[in-house]
Every structure is written in C-alpha cells, then in structure tokens.
C-alpha cells in the first residue's frame, strides 16, 4: 500500500476505481482511482478532502509505503 502526502494538500491513497470500503459502518465504493483524505482539518466533508486546503494550508509532500 502506498500513501502519498500531497504538497499543501491531502493524504492520497491510490486504489482501483470501485474499491469497496467501510466508513462508520457504512459500505461505500470509490468513484475514482484514488481516495483523498483531509490533512489540513478544514474539510466540511471529513475525513475526505473537499479542496479547502487551498486556502493557505502548508505541508511538505511525502510518501509512505507498506508491504503486508
């Protein structure tokens, strides 16, 4: 699994489109081939990124890789 930290933006998980996941007991599916999670704390749709980080959030880019 690879988790990217976008410069001045969200955590991004690259997963196949349509991947099923569960959030708060609710079954969901990815509509895109990535999942962007809020890192700035400003999103009105937490835990998802809604683009609010564009209003001045600053953080370095990075990447975390893990193998099972």
CA distances from 46 to 10, 15, 27, 51, 68 (A): 11, 19, 16, 11, 27
Residues in contact with ligand FES by CB under 6 A are 9-10, 38-40, 42-43, 49-53
Q: Quick one: 58 or 68, whose CB is closer to ligand FES?
A: 58
Q: Quick one: 20 or 23, whose CB is closer to ligand FES?
A: 23
DSSP structural state of residue 43: -
Q: How far is the CB of 8 from ligand FES (least distance, A)?
A: 9
Q: How far is the CB of 42 from ligand FES (least distance, A)?
A: 5
Q: Is 30 left (phi over 0), alpha (psi -120 to 50) or beta?
A: beta
């Amino acid at each position: 699994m690879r988790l990217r930290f976008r410069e001045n933006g969200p955590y991004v998980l690259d997963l196949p489109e349509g991947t099923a996941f569960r959030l708060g007991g609710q079954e969901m599916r990815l509509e895109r081939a990535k999942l962007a999670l809020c890192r700035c704390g400003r999103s009105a749709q937490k835990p998802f990124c809604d683009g609010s980080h564009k209003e001045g959030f600053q953080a370095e880019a990075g990447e975390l890789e893990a193998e099972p």
